[in-house]
Homo-oligomer: A and B are copies of this chain.
Amino acid sequence: MLSLLLALALSPEPPQAAAVQSSGRVAPDKRAPSEIVAAAPASDWVTIRPDDLIVMELAPDTTGRPRRVVIQLAPPPFAQGWVANIGTLAKARWWDGTSVNRVQDNYVAQWGDASEKKPLPPGLNKVAESEYEMPFHPGLFPNLWSNGAIVPVPARSSNAAAARAPKLADPYAEHYTFVGGMPFAMTMKGTAPDRVWPVHCYGSVGVGRNLSPDTGTGAELYAVIGHAPRHLDRNIAVVGRVVEGIEHLSSLPRGTEALGFYRTAAERIPIRSIRLASDLSQAERPRFQYLSTESASFAAYADARANRRDAFFIRPAGGADVCNLPVPVRRAP
């Protein structure tokens, strides 16, 4: 049936490696991004540490099917005050019995304690606003998307993979990089990165807060379920991204009150638990990997995302915005 339907996306093609011509130049890769990812060798995948993953179990859906949302937490040095708080809250089982309280179309799904009365566990950090972005220092990015050279994207390196890297400059920032499989924007001073901050994309997870100077603890979290709300960057803490189960949030009914809050308690979606993956038993613990942004596979994937040459497409775009380059994630085989 698929071959007959007016399918919007590409038709499956047999995988083919990029052809190297006699000149030594690499012929344009006509594979779809998904084919490139599927062909990436095991060594191109990076295991996400279990203590960098939180696992949220929503109440089962109306047919009784479980709804698990897995979230990767931001790598050091980003957002670590809030990330530590999330660990504290998870270990205290604080979210058990809380709920998804707000679902606003083309924006966010947000969860936490609807009563606002549940006492917080001890030991939560109060995080300063200065933590919304980090100053760069050498060694900050041991693994940058340029096969090790500390060169941001767009690259000034002669490195072939970096040279193929799509130019990501957009109205929000001139320069981007990826750390731990997540996207970050940067300013530069000369040829060196200066300030670095996480980017809100679809599936990004952030920390709800009151008005400045409050920065939130992490008890109230949200996930982006629409077009990337980049105006939130540096105004609120991004602490991670959903790696599995975003559909359990993005397909929820939208709330009918202002900002998409649910009008009644009955509408809220109960949260059974949020646990660090490292606190689950071996049998229950999900294992995930992301595609290394230093790998040739990622470079080929990014190039293909920016220049679709697979069968369905007529006109490669010649570029991609950073949120249209999600770093691939998979369950560890």
Query: Which A residues form the contact surface with B (CB < 8 A)?
Result: 1-2, 4-9, 11, 101-103, 105-108, 110, 112, 116, 129, 132, 166-172, 201-203, 206, 208-212, 216, 219-220, 222, 226-236, 246-247, 250-254, 257-259, 261, 305-306, 308, 311-315, 317-321, 323-324
Q: How many chain copies? A: 2
Q: How far is the CB of A114 from chain B (nearest CB, A)?
A: 8
Contact check, B308 vs A208: say whether CB atoms are below 8 A apart. Answer: no
Contact check, B312 vs A7: say whether CB atoms are below 8 A apart. Answer: no
The CA-CA distance from A9 to B216 in the complex, in Å, is 13
Q: How far is the CB of A61 from chain B (nearest CB, A)?
A: 9
Q: How far is the CB of A8 from chain B (nearest CB, A)?
A: 5
Contact check, B8 vs A250: say whether CB atoms are below 8 A apart. Answer: no
Contact check, B236 vs A319: say whether CB atoms are below 8 A apart. Answer: no
What are 26 sample pairs from A and B whose C-beta atoms fall under 8 A apart?
A5-B116, A5-B261, A6-B112, A6-B209, A6-B219, A8-B107, A8-B110, A106-B246, A169-B170, A170-B171, A171-B317, A171-B320, A172-B317, A211-B312, A212-B314, A226-B226, A226-B227, A228-B324, A229-B324, A230-B324, A231-B306, A235-B308, A235-B314, A250-B250, A251-B252, A321-B321
The CA-CA distance from A11 to B214 in the complex, in Å, is 14
Q: Which of B170, B208, B235, B311 contacts A211 (CB 8 A)?
A: B311
Neighbouring B residues of A236 by C-beta, 8 Å: 8
| Majority secondary structure of chain A interface residues (helix, strand, loop or mixed) | loop
Contact check, B319 vs A172: say whether CB atoms are below 8 A apart. Answer: yes
- Given the known interface contacts A168-B171, A227-B323, A250-B106, the answer about A208 and B8 at a Cβ–Cβ threshold of 8 Å is yes
Neighbouring B residues of A231 by C-beta, 8 Å: 305-306, 308, 313, 317, 320, 324
